[in-house]
Amino acid sequence: MSLRLQRRVAAEILKVGKDRVWIDPKKIGEVEDAITRDDIRTLIKQGIINAKQAKGTSRVRARKRHLQRKKGRRRGHGKRKGRKYSRITRKERWMMTIRAIRKKLKELRDKEAIDRKTYRKLYIMARSGRIKSKCHLMQIIKEMRA
């Protein structure tokens, strides 16, 4: 009743591992009689011997984790590896800040919330690093008006 030979030959024909070979439990008698490779091929065509589908790693948990990280979760001190500026370099952080400030300045200039002279003055202030963020920019504008 040992089907070791048949399983091995079927695995070679199907080009899968021995563990992935499925033999129909109802037709074991027919499989026992199969000795040659041709016999095994015939059984494969009949569907008595088949290859099981390969098991993969599910990405469900990874996708869920990714969504949480997009929300800002799972990013605390315990999850961080590397120094502060190895994650985002000083230059990249500066670029992100200055681009946001400049975009806001252009927006205000185009809406005519500030005149060109004020725009130029604030632009230079931003460039020198005196304006820390968009929020800080708005505070400075409020102070200038007062």
Residues 6+ apart with CB under 8 A from 35: 5
Instruction: Using a pLDDT cut of 70, give the percent of the chain over it.
Output: 99
Q: Is the pLDDT of residue 143 over 80?
A: yes
What pLDDT digit, counting tens, does each position of 24-69 carry?
999 999 999 999 999 999 999 999 999 999 999 999 999 999 999 9
CA 95, CA 80: separation in Å to the nearest integer?
A: 22
Confidence of residue 19 (pLDDT cuts 50, 70, 90): very high
Q: Which of 44-78 are b and which e, b meaning 16 or more Cβ less than 10 Å from the residue's Cβ?
A: beeebbbbeeeeeeeeeeeeeeeeeeeeeeeeeee
Mean pLDDT of 110-138: 97
What pLDDT digit, counting tens, does each position of 81-95 carry?
999 999 999 999 999
Q: pTM of the full predicted structure? A: 0.57
Confidence of residue 146 (pLDDT cuts 50, 70, 90): confident
Q: What angle do CA 7, 13, 17 make, to 5 degrees?
A: 55
Q: Output the pLDDT for position 2.
A: 87
Domains of the chain (ranges; CATH) run 4-51 (1.10.1650.10), 84-145 (1.10.1200.60)
Instruction: Using a pLDDT cut of 90, give the percent of the chain over it.
Output: 97
Q: Output the pLDDT for position 1.
A: 65
